Amino acid sequence: MSKLDDLLKELCPNGVEFKPIKEVYTRLRGTAITAGKMKEIDNPKGEIRIFAGGKTVINAREEDIPKANITRVPAVLVQSRGVIDFVFYENPFTFKNEMWAYTHKERVSVKYLLHVLKNSVIHFREAASGMGSLPQISLPVTEDFVIPVPPLEVQREIVRILDNFTELTAELTAELTARKKQYEYYRDALLSAKNDVPLVKLKDIATELYRGSGIKRDEVTAEGIPCVRYGEIYTTYNTWFDKCISHTKLEYVNSPKYFENGDILFAITGENIEDIAKSVAYLGNEKCLAGGDIVVMKHKQNPRYLAHVLATQSARLQKGKGKVKSKVVHSSIPSIQEIEIPLPNLEVQQKFADCLDNFEKICNDLNIGLPAEIEARQKQYEFYRDQLLTFAENGETILTDRQTDRQTDRQTDRQTDRQS
């Protein structure tokens, strides 16, 4: 019998109470701030972190945001727009006022809420509505969400167990991030402009450039014509791909626009300047539909080479010349046409592409090395989280001390190996 079972039997023999989040936690409000203001006050040395949804995060000095609602206690931030998710943060921070956060007088209870919300993240993403170009959840979706509320001692034990998993995953992820930065440095150096390699604009090598046609979220089907929606370029595909994860029916698309083997796809709508116009090469053999806010480029170059060179820092800076409108960043065909890249002959393109594909595979392939270990640890964490947070259904856990402490032992062994 595990320690958690003992605590449950001792502290809540008649079961665990369930309550809406709004009855247990204090909701914190954000700050009215525009994207333009955030750009103006962005200061890496600032002591206040400002979240604006998705990947948009800046630091600012407190004197530059005198009217901000600054949170100075541990809290769970609800990323309610774009990629719906939850973040635990305990240093001074604030966030745009379309978001919100929850806190509690006990830090451990805040961490407990984080794990509970993470365990139901699919529910929240399915509850999102497509407001504008990005999905969004409304306040009642979290306020009225009912959660198990065991005594604090039980929450503390659950947090202890689950934090062991997340800490090891964070350590592995930090290693992988360092490796990816090394890859990016190598890629940018390899593909930098050189005297013996001509620079060309995309408009000079594109045989055709055109926009896709809108495919709504509720028009995505399990079977049908393969398709790509612009958000998937940011969240699902890396440098290149050969199979679409989504499908739709032809009758849903008023003016179908297709892409084929070798084409480059650009996502021309996004949440921030740094990622706008992310591009990916399609290497599959099926004829697929391009969704709205995607630009398709046809050409006669090596598609894998183009995908790599368009991901360099030099190319990203050129892509970042988009304009902010209605809280969203946009690019366009004229902007994409002006992107300038080094273009060696096809033989050299092939060599560069093969070299970078191998390096990128080491960074991203879930079947080898660190990515595989991170994936395994994440699945393990999700399994135990699900088991631990459904204990109220049967009054006891199915875990033993030996099972839940293996992760701590594994983390200790890893740290010992590093020191030796």
Let me know whether 47 and 177 are in one domain.
no
Residue carrying structure tokens 């050969």: 242
Rounded mean pLDDT, 51-80: 90
Let me know whether 38 and 141 are in one domain.
yes
How far apart (Å, rounded) are the C-alpha atoms in residues 265 and 210? 10
DSSP for residue 277: T
Residue carrying structure tokens 């919300």: 117
More confident site: 35 or 343: 343
More confident site: 94 or 366: 94
Let me know whether 109 and 25 are in one domain.
yes
Q: How far is CA 299 from CA 94, 264, 333, in A?
A: 46, 8, 15
pLDDT of residue 411: 46
Residue type at position 152: L
Residue 178 placed within a domain: yes
pLDDT of residue 389: 73
Reading the block at residue 129, the tokens are 């509505």
* Whether pLDDT at 387 is above 80: no
Beta pairing, strands 17-20 & 26-29: unpaired
Residue 383 placed within a domain: yes
Let me know whether 261 and 362 are in one domain.
no
Q: What is the pLDDT of residues 124-173, one digit of tens each?
A: 988 887 644 578 899 999 999 999 999 999 899 889 888 888 887 788 78
Let me know whether 230 and 379 are in one domain.
no
DSSP codes of every residue in 72-100: -S-EEEEE-BSS-EEEEE-SSEEEBTT-E
Pair 187, 308: CB distance under 8 Å: yes
Q: What is the pLDDT of residues 271-315, one digit of tens each?
A: 788 889 999 999 999 999 999 999 999 999 999 999 999 999 999
Highest mean pLDDT among 78-92, 340-354, 390-404: 340-354
Let me know whether 266 and 308 are in one domain.
yes
pLDDT of residue 369: 66
Question: Phi-psi region for residue 341, left (φ > 0), alpha (ψ -120 to 50) or beta?
Answer: beta
* Whether pLDDT at 418 is above 60: no
Let me know whether 56 and 89 are in one domain.
yes
Let me know whether 336 and 205 are in one domain.
yes
Pair 392, 154: CB distance under 8 Å: no
Q: Which of 308, 343, 378 is where one domain is finished?
A: 343
Rounded mean pLDDT, 246-261: 94
Residue 358 placed within a domain: yes
Q: Which of 306, 323, 343 is where one domain is finished?
A: 343
* Whether pLDDT at 414 is above 80: no
Percent residues over pLDDT 90 in the chain: 53
Residue 334 placed within a domain: yes
The neighbouring-strand residues paired with 225 are 248
Let me know whether 81 and 108 are in one domain.
yes
* CATH (domain of 273): 3.90.220.20
Residue 348 placed within a domain: no
Helix (H, G, I), strand (E, B) or coil at 129: strand
Let me know whether 273 and 295 are in one domain.
yes
Q: What is the pLDDT of residues 219-237, one digit of tens each?
A: 999 899 999 999 999 989 9
- The radius of gyration computed from the CA coordinates of the chain, to the nearest angstrom, equals 24
Domains contained in the chain, number: 3
Rounded mean pLDDT, 249-276: 92
Q: What is the pLDDT of residues 339-381, one digit of tens each?
A: 999 999 999 999 999 999 988 877 666 556 667 777 777 777 7
Residue 271 placed within a domain: yes
What band does 398 get if pLDDT is binned at 50, 70 and 90? very low
Q: Is the pTM of this model over 0.75?
A: no
Let me know whether 275 and 285 are in one domain.
yes
Residue 380 placed within a domain: yes
CA 256 from centre of chain: 29
Q: Which of 318, 343, 368 is where one domain is finished?
A: 343
Let me know whether 157 and 144 are in one domain.
no
* Whether pLDDT at 391 is above 60: no
**84: domain range?**
17-149
More confident site: 289 or 12: 289
Highest mean pLDDT among 26-30, 167-171, 177-181, 393-397: 26-30
Rounded mean pLDDT, 17-42: 92
Reading the block at residue 266, the tokens are 């650009």
More confident site: 373 or 52: 52
Residue 316 placed within a domain: yes
